[in-house]
Amino acid sequence: MSSLRRFQDKIDVLDLIISILKDHEKSLSDFIEKMDAFIKEVSVLKKVGEENRISRPGRFTQRDNCNAISVGCRRWSDFREVSMGARLVVFEVRDGGLYITSMSNGFIFKHFHKLPGSEAVTSLPPESLDVGNVKRWLSDELKVPENRIVEGHLFEP
């Protein structure tokens, strides 16, 4: 019986090793998924940076104590993608266009829509450019709560 017991002990050790290896495999798989998402986000920001004008305005407030990069997005699709869930969205209707600025992930993204007939404003008719309609539209498009969307102008130092 002692040889049977030793055999069972070896099987138990192998089961433990297999269990630990499965846990490590799951951890590595989760890590790879997070890394893929991060790489995709960096690629989008790099693509936007290469295709659009980039400037470094310096500190946007004394309290934040960090530098923000300002990116002027030419295409609505790029602006919408990088502004999803932004901390703050500011818009202004003037000079025959809709100026939209968002603050997201340490970046300031800007986009200008020439009105009427712009690619993104097709769902927002020019006659409905009152503040409430623009806020609702931006909230739907950018997945940002209306209370974080402000009519005005974002000043950069």
Work out the number of other CB atoms within 10 angstroms of the CB of residue 25. 10
For residue 133, the one-letter residue type is N
Quote the CA–CA distance of 111 and 129 in Å, as a whole number.
Answer: 17
List Cβ neighbours of 119 (8 Å cut-off, separation of 6 or more).
75, 76, 77
Provide the H-helix boundaries in 52-74.
none
Of the pLDDT bands very low, low, confident and very high (cuts 50, 70, 90), residue 156 is low
* 8 Å CB contact between 100 and 113: yes
Give the pLDDT confidence of 64-114 residue by residue, as tens digits.
434 668 889 989 889 999 999 999 999 998 877 889 999 988 889 999 977
Cα distance between residue 116 and residue 100, in whole Å? 15
Which residues touch 83 (CB under 8 Å, ≥6 apart)?
89, 102, 104, 109, 142, 144
Percent of the chain past pLDDT 70, that is, above it, reads 74
Q: Which pLDDT belongs to residue 124?
A: 58
Residue 30: exposure state from Cβ atoms within 10 A (0-12, 13-18, ≥19): exposed
Helices (H) and strands (E) in the chain, counts: 3, 6
Helix, strand, coil tally for the chain in percent (to 5): 50, 25, 25
What is the per-residue pLDDT for 122?
Answer: 47
**What whole-number percentage of the chain has pLDDT above 90?**
32
Q: Report the C-alpha gap between 75 and 43 in whole angstroms.
A: 16
pTM of the model: 0.53
Q: How high does pLDDT run on average in the chain?
A: 78
* pLDDT tens by residue, 34-56: 888 778 777 766 665 555 444 44
